[in-house]
Structure formats: structure tokens, C-alpha cells
Amino acid sequence: MKIGIGSDHGGYNLKSKLISYLKENNYEVLDFGTFGTESVDYPDYGLKVAEAVKNGECDRGIVICGTGLGISISANKVPGIRAAVCTNSYMARMSREHNDANVLALGERVVGLDLAIDIVDAWLKAEFQGGRHEARVGKISEIEKKYNK
């Protein structure tokens, strides 16, 4: 599985550690930046990862900022992206199983490395359940179509 990952300066340290973890666990990783702790704007990196998932360059994406909030809002502006901010492994699993989230958002200032790894593992291992959830995700797509004309 190919994972696109990106962060602003507030998520850089966690991103760097997660890249190592993902590679050690045989995931292919594309790093969309930032590449240091100098202040940058999170929307730029949320967009890069979201576009890579949207265009099929990556199977899923992970975005990180200080809280996970701003970068998830940015990623969610790309039609077809369902970015979920998760602070525990249950949320991560449900975001995949029920919402078919294709981008995971994390906050470096909210979760530590061990918890982040648990969240990432749960999210990557979970699969969309379809069924009654398919119609609900379809409704999300219809909302996007209505406002993205």
C-alpha cells in the first residue's frame, strides 16, 4: 500500500517518526513535506496529500499539524477526500469501517508517538464495511457534487 504523508511545521517531528515506522512495516511512503520545523502553512500540505489520494498516486494519506484540525479541513476541500481527525484507535477504525476515510489527520500536540502508531495501525488495517454505510458515504458525495459545480 502506498501512503502519502504531509505535515506543517507543527507536525514535522511526528511525521518523520511515522515515516520510519511505516517503512519498517513495508508501506511505500511518499513524503509531501514539509521538510523541517520552519513555519509553513498547513493548507499547502493538506492539499498535496489530498490531491495525491484523489488522483490515485497514493492509496491513502496521512496529514499532520499541531492539532490535526486545520490540515484536515484543508484536505477535506478536495472532492472525494474524507479526512478524519482521530485521537484514538477506535475513532481510526470507525473512520475506515463506517466512513471510508481515505485520509487520516493527526495532531502532534495532541497524540504522542505510541498513540499515533496505534491510531495509524488501526486505520491502515481497517476496511470499509459497505452495506448501510455505503448509502451514507454516497450522501457525502452528493453534498460535494451540489456545492462543487
- Give exposure, 105-134, as e/b (b: 16+ Cβ within 10 Å): bbbbebbeeeebbebbebbbebebeeeeee
Non-local CB neighbours of 88 within 8 Å, separated by 6+ positions: 115, 118, 119
Can you give the pTM of this predicted structure?
0.97
Q: Residue-wise pLDDT tens for the chain (149 aa)?
A: 999 999 999 999 999 999 999 999 999 999 999 999 999 999 999 999 999 999 999 999 999 999 999 999 999 999 999 999 999 999 999 999 999 999 999 999 999 999 999 999 999 999 999 999 999 999 999 999 999 87
**Which residues are catalytically annotated?**
65, 98
CA 89 from centroid of its chain's CA atoms: 14
